[in-house]
């Protein structure tokens, strides 16, 4: 009987040691960056942004329509993509709120939200170009093209368009 207890103890002890070794190995081995790697290759990836489509969407606290509804997102509301799955996307808004939206609620067009107290929209991507209009904090602007030297081409829902500094908006 004593041998059976000792063997059982040894089996549990061996299993515990193997499990501990298995769990600790990934944290003790660290990949060393190659000396040939560029700084861009070793930096964190840029955030990916999306926006709600033409209809408001519900933000859930889980991966189901049966999960708690956190709040309703307005149409064109910009969001940072954290995780994209088959039917759901985990997102964060400009206030830092995290939740899940159905992929069918996400639109094709990209939008940004003014994060500065006031953003100047200029006629071209030059700070001395003509001021087209000013947008106050929280105003949504549609992105109409790629960024150019820290400037984004944007259009207001009223039709006015121009360039805004990327630092003055969230979601770029």
CATH code (residue 123): 2.30.30.40
The verdict on residue 152 lying in a domain is yes
Identify the pLDDT of residue 43: 66
> Is the domain of 100 the same as that of 69?
yes
Most distant CA atoms of the chain, gap in Å? 92
* 37 domain-assigned: no
Same domain, 73 and 58: yes
Q: Residue 155 sits in which domain range?
A: 111-170
* 135/98 same-domain check: no
Residue 90 and residue 135 in one domain: no
Domain boundary among 80, 105, 130: 105
Q: Looking at the structure, tell me whether residues 82 and 118 fall in a common domain.
A: no
Residue whose pair of structure tokens reads 């093209």 in the numeric block: 145
93 and 116 together in one domain:
no
What tokens were used for 83? 């995780």
Going residue by residue through the chain, which has 172 residues, state the pLDDT in tens, using 9 for 90 and above.
544 444 444 444 444 433 433 333 333 333 344 444 444 455 677 789 999 999 999 999 999 999 999 999 999 999 999 999 999 999 999 999 999 999 999 999 999 999 999 999 999 999 999 999 999 999 999 999 999 999 999 999 999 999 999 999 999 8
The reply to whether 83 and 118 lie within a common domain is no
Q: Positive or negative, the Cα torsion across 70, 74, 77, 81?
A: positive
pLDDT on residue 87: 95
- Ramachandran class of 9: left when φ > 0, alpha when ψ lies in -120 to 50, beta otherwise: alpha
Give the pLDDT score at 47.
80
CA distance 2 to 8: 10
Please report the pLDDT score of residue 42 as a whole number.
Answer: 57
Is 40 within a domain? no
Same domain flag for 50 and 94: yes
CA–CA gap between residue 120 and residue 80 (Å, rounded): 23
The alpha carbon of 110 is separated from its chain's Cα centroid by a whole number of angstroms, namely 13
22, part of any domain: no
The pLDDT value recorded for residue 128 is 94
| Domain count within the chain | 2
Where does a domain end: 58, 86, 105?
A: 105
């Amino acid at each position: 009987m004593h041998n059976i207890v000792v063997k059982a103890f040894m089996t549990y002890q061996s299993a515990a040691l193997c499990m501990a070794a298995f769990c600790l190995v990934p944290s003790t081995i660290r990949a060393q960056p190659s000396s040939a790697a560029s700084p861009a290759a070793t930096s964190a990836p840029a955030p990916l942004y999306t926006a709600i489509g033409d209809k408001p969407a519900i933000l859930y606290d889980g991966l189901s329509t049966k999960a708690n509804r956190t709040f309703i997102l307005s149409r064109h509301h910009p969001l940072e993509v954290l995780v994209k799955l088959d039917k759901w996307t985990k997102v964060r808004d400009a206030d830092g709120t995290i939740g899940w939206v159905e992929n069918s609620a996400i639109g094709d067009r990209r939008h940004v939200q003014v994060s500065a107290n006031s953003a100047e929209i200029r006629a071209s991507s030059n700070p001395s170009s003509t001021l087209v209009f000013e947008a106050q904090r929280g105003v949504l602007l549609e992105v109409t093209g790629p960024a150019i030297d820290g400037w984004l081409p944007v259009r207001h829902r009223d039709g006015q368009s121009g360039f805004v500094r990327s630092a003055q908006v969230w979601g770029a």
